Amino acid sequence: MAIPGNLLTTAMAVMPHKDVDSALKAACSLDIPFWPQLPLLNYYEDMYVQASENFPGILLDMENRTLKFSTDKFAMELEDAMLHFDDPVYFDISTTYSQVYHKFLEIDFSDRPAIRGQLEGPVSFGFNVQDENERPILFNDTVREFMFDFMAQRINVQLERLKKINPNAFMFIDEPGLQYIFSAMSGYNDMTAKTDLDRFFSLIDHPRGIHLCGNPDWGFLLNLDLDILSMDVYLNGDIIVSYHKEIKRFLDRGGVLVWGIVPTNFEPFYTESIDSLKKRFVHLWDTLSKKGIDRDVLLSQSLISPATCCLVNKDGEQTVEKAFKLVSTLSRELRDMYKIG
């Protein structure tokens, strides 16, 4: 299995740091390092802005921190974008759009079980970026089809580059927007999303999966062609384990689950402890065990992470870094408890 399990640790990429080196140090403190996204450092480091690089039609205003779309500009730039579709440099993340990514690529990760990259997914990007009529570009059929192809190419290029420094590299596709597609108000329903995402994942190299911090229809996600799924079980654990049939099928085909359990927000973080979080895990895993899921299989195909990212704590990056340390301690204690080598 290219993606390790056994309750090793990783985290989501958006971090509150304003210093590249300190962010990388924190990211590399976990078993599976990743390159951090630092929107408080500058607007280029925002996850939506990073995904927008070289996308035709984009209007990026660094001074006002806005990301918009022009239909006319898209029409003018589309042909040139199509001519670059076989150019890896065009689809990679430049030094302008991420200082962190390029520093990460210079680190020796040969002794790590895996490393991870990420890119904002097309559904969330399409909901977030609006055209001149304040209409999400996800609703433009021509733009949407191109957008899925474009993001698939960007993910493949980054994954190939990461695999050169660690053969077990994998990608998170960050899709917070997927929690909205099940609302009748979204204008983009789950059936359309399923068709689009099935085609999207058919274009993407393995291993890859989805991360989101919200609470979508977990059955929908567990039935996509994913190798890994990252979940906020701190807030949604009891809901997630109710999808035990889908979880069993996901594990049976080799999928890995990332259990986001340690809160990174200031207030809830200081209400929890190692013991309280261990009790949450035992409860969730006991529930799944009673539903017929082999605990040894489950733990061998599980990672542990913080519950969410957080940019708004009054102490800046301090609580987030403490959460990373707590994740590592929790992992060690659970591995000892379940006798995982």
3-state SS of 219-249 is: HHHHCCCCCEEEEEHHHHHHHHHCCHHHHHH
- CB burial of residue 190 (10 Å; 0-12, 13-18, 19+): middle
Per-residue confidence at 15, pLDDT binned at 50, 70, 90? very high
Report the DSSP pairing between strands 116-120 and 58-61: unpaired
If pLDDT is split at 50, 70 and 90, which confidence band does 1 have? Answer: low
Does the pLDDT of residue 249 top 70, yes or no?
yes
- Whether 257 shows a pLDDT value over 60: the answer reads yes
Identify whether 2 is part of a domain: no
pLDDT for 5 equals: 97
Q: Could you give the CA distance from residue 25 to residue 30 in angstroms, rounded to a whole number? A: 9
Of 167, 294, 307, which is closest to residue 232 (Cα–Cα)? 307
The letter for the amino acid at 326 is: L
Please give the Cα distance from 294 to 338 (Å, whole number). 13
pLDDT at 164 over 60: yes
Report whether pLDDT(87) > 70.
yes
Give the residue-averaged pLDDT of 155-178: 97
Which of the four pLDDT bands, split at 50, 70 and 90, describes residue 252? Answer: very high
- pLDDT computed for residue 334 by the predictor: 98
CA distance 187 to 311: 29
* pLDDT grade for 2, boundaries at 50, 70 and 90: confident
The answer as to whether 174 is a domain residue is: yes
Range of the domain at 315: 8-337
Report the pLDDT value the prediction gives residue 265, as an integer from 0 to 100: 96
CATH number at residue 64: 3.20.20
| H helix runs in 129-206, sequence order | 141-163, 190-202
Mean pLDDT calculated for residue range 266-279 = 97
Residue 185: per-residue pLDDT: 67
Mean pLDDT (whole number) for 311-333: 97
- How far from chain centre, in Å, is Cα 147? 18
Q: What angle do CA 183, 187, 188 make, to 5 degrees?
A: 80
**46 pLDDT band (50/70/90 cuts)?**
very high
Predicted local confidence at residue 223, as pLDDT? 96
Q: How confident is the prediction for the chain on average, in pLDDT?
A: 96
CA 52/CA 95 separation, integer angstroms: 14
Containing 88, the helix (H) or strand (E) segment is helix 88-91
59 φ, ψ (degrees, to nearest 5): -120, 105
> How many domains does the chain divide into?
1
- What percent of the chain has a predicted confidence (pLDDT) above 70? 99
Look-up of token digits 């889908």: 246
User: What count of Cα atoms within 13 Å lies in the side-chain half-sphere of residue 35?
Assistant: 27
Q: Is 200 a member of any domain?
A: yes
Q: What is the β-pairing status of strands 58-61 and 66-69?
A: antiparallel
**Domain assignment of residue 57, yes or no:** yes
- 3 occurs within a structural domain: no
pLDDT at 184 over 70: no
Residue 130 lies in a domain: yes
User: Is residue 212 one of the residues assigned to a domain?
Assistant: yes
Query: Is 136 within a domain?
Result: yes
What whole-number percentage of the chain has pLDDT above 90? 94
